[in-house]
Structure 1
């Protein structure tokens, strides 16, 4: 592990398939519209809302409400703790994959 490499740490909050995909999508952008995430995951609003609540309660995402013409638009942003948790989780998955490959 290099000095700047994330510490491998399995994170059960992130590990759930939808939440892992949400975090990975958000890691590549500054923020993402709720509807775009929903469409990418191909889930109902209620399913996405539940997954985002778990991530927000853990401090991994921030939900930003923006009033527009008639509707409130929700933007989702991966927080610094969320970025660190995702990096650690991905490092742990990589570590486990390398262990499994050794035979």
Structure 2
């Protein structure tokens, strides 16, 4: 089987792969936490989050804490499925090379 064909193009970027990896093991993460973990700029992170949101792979929660805006992200069910399939394809690809 051609496992390369099973890889999801949405996760080719190391930043998107990082976002999904972090969100997959955390219920919700704030923008600032993601930025710190992934060590990217605001604009770079925002563009990748926006792309994942358009694909319905992540959901956004905007709220105010006191008078300060707070934006958090979580993986959607379809995002979990797509990311898990991507990881499975990677694992199978690695196994075929052993």
Name the TM-score, length of structure 1 as normaliser.
0.87
Per the alignment, residue 89 of structure 2 pairs with 92
Select 1:41's aligned residue among 38, 53, 66.
38
Q: Number of aligned residue pairs: give it.
A: 94
1:75 paired to 2:75: no
Unaligned runs of 5+ in 2: none
CA deviation string 1:12-39 (max 9, x = no partner)? 0122110011101111111111100000
Aligned Cα root-mean-square deviation (Å):
1.2
Select 2:50's aligned residue among 46, 53, 77.
53
Name the TM-score, length of structure 2 as normaliser.
0.91
Unaligned runs of 5+ in 1: 1-7
Name segments (4+ residues, structure 1) moved above 2 Å: none
